[in-house]
Chain A
Amino acid sequence: MRLPDGYQERIYTPQQARSVEAVWRHEEQCAGRSLILPDGRCDVIVRYNADPDVVPRLVVTGPATQPYWVEFETGDRWIGVRLRPERGGVLWGDALGGAKDQVALGDEAEDLVPELAGLGVVGVPEAELRQALVRFVEGRALSPEGHRVGETVRRMHLTGGRFSVTELAARAACSTRHLNRLFGGTVGLSVKTYAALVQFHRALRLVCDAGGSLSDAAFEAGYADQVHMTRAMRRFGGFVPSDIPEGLIRPDVSGGLWGNRAA
């Protein structure tokens, strides 16, 4: 696992009983930009700077399915709460359906979570920011569908995204249509898209760590062939398997150690 300097996080357990998957903080030592890989999760973040005169800004991300670049200045800091995939509605409410790949900044973010509007002022200590974010996320009611979707998300991670939608629906004892509806209302993505993300992250790991060829990795990841793996890497990472960017931050989608996630 490659994590950037200045990045720390704490995983919250037991996972399925909570909305918070992890609380993380990150600080940049110099200006630059980073490629952030999509993880299908929503985050609520306060972005600020070591310079106390910089006004902190609230950020709410929707479930990401595309790679994006984040640009930063020296001393930029983020403190964030990453939600479990099936808890996206906690931040987006009814707007989750249109939240895919959206990032709400400043006023827009405060409209989504007005309870946190008070964090966008100078001088709030980091411990208070952290506490406010966690308290807010854990204090919001969970949707009743969350548990069933949580079980399905778990199966997707165990299988590396290789179960078909039909198999997932059968194991959840519902129709594929119903499962997709549940997913749209909790994760904010289709079952197929989330499974494809899980499969992509595992394939990336296999390419980097398994010690075999690209076609070995494509086979183990469950792609029909190497062409399909290449297509997935282009879609979710913006690169091809034979040319993975050096220093790429690879998030661990299992809810273990995660890479940098910022906006």
Chain B
Amino acid sequence: MIPELGHFALILALLVALVQGTLPLVGAAANSPRLMAMARPAARAQAVLVAFAFGCLAWSFVSNDFSVQNVAANSNSELPLQYRVAATWGSHEGSLLLWTLMLGGWSFAVSLFSRNLPLPLVARVLSVMGLISVGFLLFLLFTSNPFERLVPPAVEGNDLNPLLQDPGMVFHPPLLYMGYVGFSVAFAFALAALLGGRLDATWARWSRPWTTVAWSFLTIGIALGSGWAYYTLGWGGWWFWDPVENASFMPWLTGTALIHSLAVTEKRGAFRSWTVLLAILAFSLSLLGTFLVRSGVLTSVHAFATDPARGVFILAFLAVVIGGSLALFAWRAASVGLGAAFGVVSRESTLLGNNILLVVAMASVLLGTLYPLFLDALNLGKISVGPPYFDAVFYPLMAPAAFLMGVGPVARWSAAPLPELWTRLKWALGVALAGALILPLVLGRWSPLIAFGLFLALWIFASTAANLRQRLASTPRRGLLARLGANSPSYYGMLLAHLGVGVFVVGVTLVKGYEVERDVRLDVGDSVAVGNYDFRFLGVTPAPGPNYRALVGTVEVRKGAQLVETLKPEKRIYNASGQAMTIAAIDTGLRGDVYVSLGEPVGAGGSDDIAGAWSVRVYLKPFIDWIWGGALLMALGGFVAVSDRRYRLAVRRRATAFDAAAAPGAAD
């Protein structure tokens, strides 16, 4: 009964979404307040219905209702409760329902926090989001119904993919989708601006917080996914340039460009058509990501459920949404205009430079991801593009971007005289150069790449400090605290996010520069010296788990004679599926991780001889946690920036917004 209620709620949601997607749009065109006013209640009703359907599915999972095909295929009565909940979005159908739920949630939020917005804009934004929802609900109901019954019901479920039975995977998809789907708000704002022909500083101010929040969630989601890959795949890698990782990374790169472009549009009225294009692209790439993952056009470990009929549907949906919005852009962008002009060296030009680098980086990732598909489509053979391509293309693009990141916030709007930039940044440059030359020697080994990476990180730190110093010096208050308090959260959010990039660069540089990876065969009692540590293997013992049998190894880590840590890497065999999983044991520290994972038994008795020798992977990963720490700082910066009161103030008259922004030296 409960699954049928969920199914029925989805059908109702589709009908409501149709109303939400059409009538307010017509109302905005015909200037009918009555039709436009339907947007908010429709959006809320739709969100509640989808949430109800989602609750029904979650209930079916929690109560082990194996008469539902989706539950039977993705859950098991032995599965612990938290993973039964997570299994709700562990399947293709469930993850799409989560997508739709997120879209409903964002629409609901827009309907709540839009009191200051003009009604036609709200109507258009919610309508566009309603139309997207229509597409997803149709897709769910016609090709991927999560409530499909299984006749006769299964006695026992097939179990959730063991790879997904992990705390990181409980949170990764919802956070990632919050980000993906959150870009739909910026997208809807962009289309509303194109439709209404109104695109100005106030429009940018409305779009900014939505975009920043979505971007922050996406950042955390990607970081969680990367951390998950690090400790569950057992190879110590944190980024694989896997098509699905790329699918989430492309919207992130575009979203990053969009955030900065929106800042310029708000402050200076410039970059308007560029901002609109980025908003369309960010969400289009989120949709493309969904297509790539769900249609199975690319091989990937993530493509759990692939089905050509679904692929055709998503492709048609992509054609309508992306094709339609880009056609609208081609038709209306000219009326939006380019906005104010700016000097060759100015804050605008550095931001534009960074935007272009980010978009080119995104395009190169897109090309690398789809290249195998292009070649196959042209009958030129089947190939796969791996890390060598991405490393070769991506780092050289990001290095100048990291450098410009130090210059941009210090440069003046409109025109920044070079001598002035030099005075402001010479100390930062000196500190970064000196640190880059000396630090690698302190850390161990000097190499040009390590020095260069550290230079970029130190440059970001030092130029951010220089920016703060100069900002405080020019704040017309007495006393440090008063000066600190006089600056806006959005300014501090920007600093925090930029520091996050610096921290991230430190992590990447030092891991790539100094990591040690040893795969060794260890008999019980054997030791191996790696770096400054001594690893002693004490054998493997069986241990029970809730829905798996584990083999737990014991490895003592010593530094000199002192015991640092006893690590217990695991090998698990899941009861229901018989699949094996490797759980690495990691001693995490600010200065780096000690990572041990079990390979295979290699004793004399063959693969069943668990009491004998094992192949063991022993890795030292210096400063690796800085990678995720940096990502979290970036996201935190985003949230801090959004807390700025400015975004919640009643909208001033349109005219004054531009005047204020055009004043010389207007901040951030």
Question: Does A associate with B in a complex?
Answer: no
Which residue numbers of B lie inside 8 Å of A, CB to CB?
none
Which residue numbers of A lie inside 8 Å of B, CB to CB?
none
